[in-house]
Amino acid sequence: MGFLRHNRYLGEFIRVFRDPVLAIGLVIAVLFVVVAIIMPILAMVGVGLSSEGLPLFERYLGQPAYQTIISNTVVMGLTVATVGTLIGFLFAYVQVKVQAPFKRFMHIVALVPIISPPFALASAIILLFGRNGYITKGIFDSRCLWGAGRGCNDIYGLDGLTLVLSLSLFTVAYLNLKGMLEALDPTLDEAATNLGASRWHIFRTVTVPMLIPGIAGSFLLLFVEAIADLGNPLVLGGNYEVLATRIYVSIVGLYDTTASAVLSIILLVPSLTVFMVQRYWISRTSVVSVTGKPAGNPQQITHPLVRWTLFGMVMTVCILIILIYAVIFFGAFSKVPGVNNTLTLDNFNFVINGIGSKAMTDTTVLAAIATPVAGLLGIFIAFLIVRKSFAGQGLLDFSTMLGIAVPGTIIGIGYLLVFNNPVELVLPFGGETPTTITLIPKLTGGRAIFGGALAIILVYVVRSVPAALRAGVSLLSQIDPAIEEASISLGANNAQTFRRITLPLIRPAFLSGLIYAFARSMTTISAIVFLTTPQTKIMTAQILNEVENGRFGNAFAYCVILILIVMTSIGILYLTVGATSGAGRPLEGGR
């Protein structure tokens, strides 16, 4: 049996490597995963499992205080993933399946949260719902909004984090599920209707099962994003401490790399557990629906009660988002937001004529470089995972997802540990002097060379590829492989089939991957906070500096400029890649 399995794996590899383009792509994907993801993580794991780190496991896992921190992290992740996925599904369903007005408006508002810089939403929520917030203090005159008794008017903690993180992350689920809903063949609903099924029965037995890959993928992505988030818990966590903030304090406050490595290993456990459950669930579900160009238009729900209820729910979220960003924009023009609201342009003058000019240029250029790399690499790895069969296929998927499952601060520290020291392989022969091969030499200048633009670009790609990967896997799971098999049988090779057939069919997933990659790159902070240098200015690092110094007006001005840059770039992506589903369109006219 083992011999047969070995021969099967060997045959699979031979088939993959028959196509030079596919083989080169696979090698690049594997090298990327090993060098950019596995090595930094292994560096941190090595420190955590060292003689100094092992005793800390018993200390952290045995103390009630750390048990509470671990529990807080898991509860926050599950809560945010559930709420964020539900909001994303609600927006996507109304966009595609419900006859409602202002769809374009709702779509634009849904895209805004993903471009939020760190601390922006949290700071705005504090100004709105804090103890002295515009709403809690001004409108409701300090009456209780968030609890009873001594906890009144306290947005800090799990409630505030759930609100902020759900609004910040639901866009990922929305874009993913919207693309899948648009790709569903409308004839499925028509057939069920002709057989006498009600709208609710169709929704429950047809629509939702077809979306299971996207729902599970979105839940996983939001969960790992939530538990790895650093900025919002620092600003809004209050007494609700989570592992990400404890790791940050261990590094920045205590300079204890060993403690941070141990805590990061503990943080990996819930991430990997959810990932394993999601993989097992999806592996037992088949949801193929796209067999070519979808015929007809999706049936629209017109029942007044259902229609206006769903519309009202979406508009409520939209109004809350608009209110939050109105505070951000208003604060950018205020002398001291919440204290002295006199209008001024001093904040923008500080940003544009100060170091903010270089920060804007550097951040935009680095994000623009990383975005197409992350989008294409994520979609290509998704293609390999769903459409090809080779040994290590699951490991490639698992390893790529580690780029987002690991807290950003740990990836940054891992990069410093790996690439500021030579990586050597000691071979077990050579007599008294073992043979040593230097796999990666020490980079002269350390931070000055690798810790600058190159490292930041690589981190941007590492953190963005999983979103494109999950979106690609979700949509490819719906597409019948017979389409690609027909292309190959007609003489096209794998590269031509991927470029002319597969990629156009999964255009919604590719577009969502690009949008997420650019927005994520522009707004990330935890992964690059240790990699910035005086030669490379990053806007999020400047925002963090302004928030830490209490200059919220300057921070909001940075946020406004960053939002404008990202929104403009998203518009360019829609014009160049296409906002509509590509299912079947490139098949027309022989293209």
Sketch out the chain's domains with CATH numbers: 2-590 (1.10.3720.10)
Contact (CB, 8 A) for 410 and 44? yes
Contact (CB, 8 A) for 524 and 408? yes
Q: Of residues 87 and 7, which shows the higher confidence score?
A: 87
Picking from 136, 121, 155, 116, the residue whose alpha carbon sits closest to that of residue 237 is 155
In whole angstroms, what separates CA 331 from the centre of its chain? Answer: 27
- The beta-strand segments (E) located in 103-242 are none
Distance CA 123, CA 231 (A): 10
- pLDDT at residue 501 is higher than 50: yes
Helix (H, G, I), strand (E, B) or coil at 237: coil
* Across 363-383, average pLDDT: 89
Distance CA 294, CA 98 (A): 18
- pLDDT at residue 143 is higher than 60: no
Mode of pairing for the β-strands spanning 334-336 and 340-343: antiparallel
> Which of the 8 DSSP states describes residue 117?
P
- pLDDT at residue 282 is higher than 70: no
- pLDDT at residue 294 is higher than 60: no
Query: Is the entire prediction scored with pTM above 0.85?
Result: no
| Helices and strands (H, E) in the chain, number of each type | 27, 4
Q: Could you tell me the pLDDT band of residue 452, with boundaries at 50, 70 and 90?
A: low
* Across 96-110, average pLDDT: 88
> Could you report the per-residue pLDDT of 472-488, keeping only the tens digit for each?
887 777 777 777 777 77
> Could you report the per-residue pLDDT of 306-335, keeping only the tens digit for each?
888 999 999 999 999 999 889 888 889 988
- pLDDT at residue 10 is higher than 70: no
pLDDT above 90 covers a percentage of the chain that reads 11
Task: Sort residue 64 into left (φ over 0), alpha (ψ -120 to 50) or beta.
Answer: alpha
* Across 545-553, average pLDDT: 78
> Which of the 8 DSSP states describes residue 298?
P
Distance CA 109, CA 102 (A): 11
Q: Of residues 69 and 573, which shows the higher confidence score?
A: 69
* Across 392-403, average pLDDT: 81
Q: Say what the pLDDT of residue 441 is.
A: 42
Q: Say what the pLDDT of residue 215 is.
A: 85
- pLDDT at residue 544 is higher than 60: yes
Q: Say what the pLDDT of residue 13 is.
A: 60
Using a 10 angstrom Cβ sphere, with 0-12 exposed, 13-18 middle and 19 or more buried, the burial of residue 388 is middle
